[in-house]
Amino acid sequence: MKSAELKAIKESLVAQKSSILNRQQEFKAETLQSLQLADETEQVVAEQNQNLGIHLREKDRQVLLQIERALSKITDGSYGECEGCADPIGLKRLQARPFTNLCVSCMEEQESQSQLFQ
């Protein structure tokens, strides 16, 4: 992978990380604001929004961990190597999903395995 390509992917990862952290700050602010609502209906709506927000925060937390892992791999020089087969992950896949840790073949195999257990 070329240095410019790696730099662009790293910038994308950092931007995604920043976006997730900003959303978390907004969620905290909304939560504090919802505690100050007086109307019972507003409180119910705020509670529903908070429940949805908690679910979304969990997904964000998982993505944030994957981003941190990818940034760490960039630092140690192992970025772009499939954790399943150790082959290089295609550049297009890395550009589309920069925090991926599996090549397409290994991801498909993992998905088929998980479908067997559902």
Instruction: Flag the least confident range among 10-19, 46-55, 61-70.
Output: 46-55
Is the pLDDT at 32 greater than 70? The verdict is: no
Supply the CATH number for residue 11's domain: 1.20.120.910
Is the pLDDT at 54 greater than 70? The verdict is: no
User: Can you tell me the distance from the alpha carbon of 81 to that of 76, in angstroms, rounded to the nearest whole number?
Assistant: 12
Average pLDDT over residues 63-85: 95
Split into its structural domains, the chain has a count of: 1
Domain that holds residue 85: 3-116
Contact yes or no for 25/34 (Cβ under 8 A):
no
Spatial CA neighbour of 86 closest among 98, 103, 100: 103
User: Can you tell me the distance from the alpha carbon of 69 to that of 93, in angstroms, rounded to the nearest whole number?
Assistant: 17
pLDDT bin (cut points 50, 70, 90) of residue 59 is confident
pTM: 0.72
Contact yes or no for 62/97 (Cβ under 8 A):
no
Average pLDDT over residues 47-57: 69
